[in-house]
Structure 1
Amino acid sequence: MVASRRAALRGASPALLVGVRAALTVVSVALAGVLSATAVASIHMARRIVTPAVRVPDTRILALDTAAQTITLSRTPDTQLPGRYGLFTSGSSTYVKLGSVLSEDETSVKRKLLTHVAGDAHLSPDAAFSGWYFDRPEQLHLPFTPELIGSAVGPCPAWLFPAGEGDVWVIQIHGRGTNRAECLRAVPVFHALGITSLVVSYRNDGEAPRSRAGTYSLGATEWRDVDAAVGFARRRGARRITMMGWSMGGAIALQVSLNSAHGDSLAGLILESPVIDWRLVLEYQARVLHVPPTVSGLAIGALQSEWATPITRAGSAIPFDRLDVVARAAELRHPMLILHSDDDGFVPSDASHDLLMARPDLVELRVFEVARHTKLWNYDQERWSDSIRSWLTARALLGEAAGSPD
């Protein structure tokens, strides 16, 4: 068969052979173009994953009524949520607090303003919706001190909110693309229970020092900065320490739990909308953004390969296997409470459910609905706070001088 084809080609006219060669050239160029485009897209995705994120507008201010103290926003899955939130703005104000939804239609949502906006105020139309609510520690009206935690990359800023007798602490760890202010919502709950709160920063988050590469390692190196905070807490008198991690902060807390030399002083973990398996999260986000599986797979492969770090600009290979805590469930030794919404929209709750199945002896999961990523407190503050209080109480992790519940 092959010989007959070769004979046929030998006997073919020069014009036919020229046409065949031209067609093969076109196909080869097209294939090379596809492969090149896929590689470029994969590198772009890989770099985005490890590059510290900046806040980008995700909604628009459609109307501002300073007389009624209301604001109308474009409708999104977040802006339509019940509860209290924040809005990053530019112009006369940089941040305002938002209250309940007053009215809505297919394209807009009107909410109550909880921050007074003056009559002559001007706000840029572009804004970013936030679950932070509190954006400065002074807004809690609780005593606090600024601290510096010595780590391998340098001094990492922290806020210390003393409470109780000072022997029971919680260390709070913020998520990707945010800073310490994300954690302020939880401080009053712990303070009322007599638990000292240490709200920390870590490398490359915009507050703590920059690493040499200036990129995230998704918890694989950041945990060392938080481990330094554990040591700080112990030197200040902490005997029982709970870690609370938000989103990527959950991944960091889990790595501290698995790797810290201070493990004997860790009493437990509270994880809010946590990243437990990065590959699952990245594949989910790729689907949401309609990124082909080939592109996301190549991006993850490049990030976990040492040879590709100059291309991805990651400081070192990302150890996705080591960051997959479901696969490492047998190594866990600290009890944990997971708070996760099945409607998260950013970090799917699948791995939280999987970890519960793998370690029902250690893991307690409180499932929320409707609430979106790291907005569980905002959506249902009472249930969120009660979940933490009851879990801490059941494990005798309260301070000696707990006050009335928040």
Structure 2
Amino acid sequence: MSFAVSFPVMLRTKDGVRIDAAHTPSRGPGDLCVVLAHGFTGAWRERTSRRIAHVFSGFGGVVAFDFRGHGRSGGHSTVGDEEVLDVDAAVRHARTLGYARVAVVGFSMGAAVAVRHAALHGGVDAVVSVSGPGRWYYRGTVPMRRVHWAMEQRLGRAAARLVKGTRIRSTGWDPVPLAPYEAAPLVSPTPLLVVHGDSDAFFPIDHAHQIYDAATEPKELWIEEGYGHAESAATPDLIRRIGRWVSASVVAP
């Protein structure tokens, strides 16, 4: 499969972190942009992310980026806290490119950041949380116990750096950031779509319900039968359906 051409750019956050990003021009409407926020240990150059960006480009332009501590971006990952500044830099870049309508679509950790960014910073026209956690410190599945080991143990952080190229800050959270379900009611009046699979091995569907139940209108919840977790399990059909929802939900200024 050949992907739409992307144009790399280096952004800088308000706290001075370099963020590696890329703009994929729209193959559809010219005024809509999707900001694509990847999951923990992901990167915009990975094939799964590029495939998703290609599908979304049929609905509008796409700005994809590497979170701090990931890929070619600078800094260290704070696993969902200061990453709101990375999303903010990507949204500002989309506006600079001339896009009048901007939606943020986040996967897993990126979903948590997307919801928190919309609540704390605003400036977006729609938010989509895909496979996102509703709350912090969840250890109820084997994959999430492995994630916590990678975040909390020195050996785990070293393994994440060597195997995935992800650099994780060792100091942890102080204070604990606003959880996604706590941020959800602050997203309104921006439209919020919560997407979750009933076969997610990381977060059971009660996380999706926790976000959705806490949010206020306008909001929508999709529980996808047979869908696993985040980017790797997302089919082109699901991405196209999200793209159509974004196109219909984002009102032109």
| TM-score in terms of structure 1 length | 0.51
Identical columns (%): 24
**Structure 1 residues 167 and 283, CA gap change in structure 2 (3 angstroms):** same
Answer yes or no: is 1:254 the counterpart of 2:115: yes
Shift of 1:360: 5.5
Matched with 1:154 is 17
Aligned residue for 2:125, secondary structure, equals: strand
* Pair 259,141 (structure 1): closer, same or farther in 2 beyond 3 Å: same
Mapped contact 2:10–2:19 kept (Cα < 8 A): yes
Other-structure match for 1:203: 68
Matched residue SS, 2:208 = helix
1:187 corresponds, among 31, 45, 53, to: 53
- Higher relative CO (Cα under 8 Å, sequence separation at least 6) belongs to 2
CA deviations on 1:317-350 (whole Å, 9 max, x unpaired) are: 2515x1x222343322221222211210112221
Aligned to 1:317: 174
Greater Cα radius of gyration, structure 1 or 2: 1
Going from structure 1 to structure 2, the CA distance change for 1:371 and 1:316 (only over 3 Å counts) comes to closer
Structure 2 equivalent of residue 235 of structure 1 = 96
| 1:76-115 aligned within 5 A | none
Q: Distance in 1 between matches of 2:7 and 2:61?
A: 12
Aligned-partner residue type, residue 174 of structure 1:
H
In structure 1, runs of 5+ residues without a counterpart are 1-138, 300-311, 399-406
3-state secondary structure, aligned to 2:57: helix
144, 149, 156: which one pairs with 2:6?
144
Q: Do structure 1's residue 178 and structure 2's residue 42 form an aligned pair? A: yes
Of the three residues 184, 189, 201, the one matched with 1:329 is: 184
Cα deviation for residue 389 of structure 1 reads 3.7
Report the Cα offset of residue 242 of structure 1. Answer: 0.2
2:127 paired with 1:269:
yes
2:133 touches 2:180 (CA, 8 Å); kept in 1? Answer: no
Shift in Å, 1:316: 4.5
Partner of 1:392, secondary structure, is helix
1:359-378 equivalences in 2 (<5 Å)? 359=215, 361-374=217-230, 375-378=232-235
Letter of the 1:226 partner, please give it.
V
In structure 2, the residue corresponding to 1:327 is in which secondary structure?
A: helix
Q: How many residues align?
A: 227
One-letter code aligned to 2:10: L
1:56 matched residue in structure 2:
none
* Alpha-carbon shift at residue 142 of structure 1 (Å): 1.5
Alignment partner of 1:356 is 2:212:
yes
Label 1:203 to 1:328 Cα distance change in 2 as closer, same or farther (>3 A). Answer: closer
SS of equivalent residue, structure 1 residue 284: coil
Give the match for residue 157 of structure 2: none
Three-state SS of the structure 2 residue aligned to 1:160 is strand
* Structure 1 residues 342-371: Cα deviation after superposition (integer angstroms, max 9, x where no partner): 210112221211222233623211112322
AA in 1 matched with 2:62: S
Letter in 1 for 2:134: I
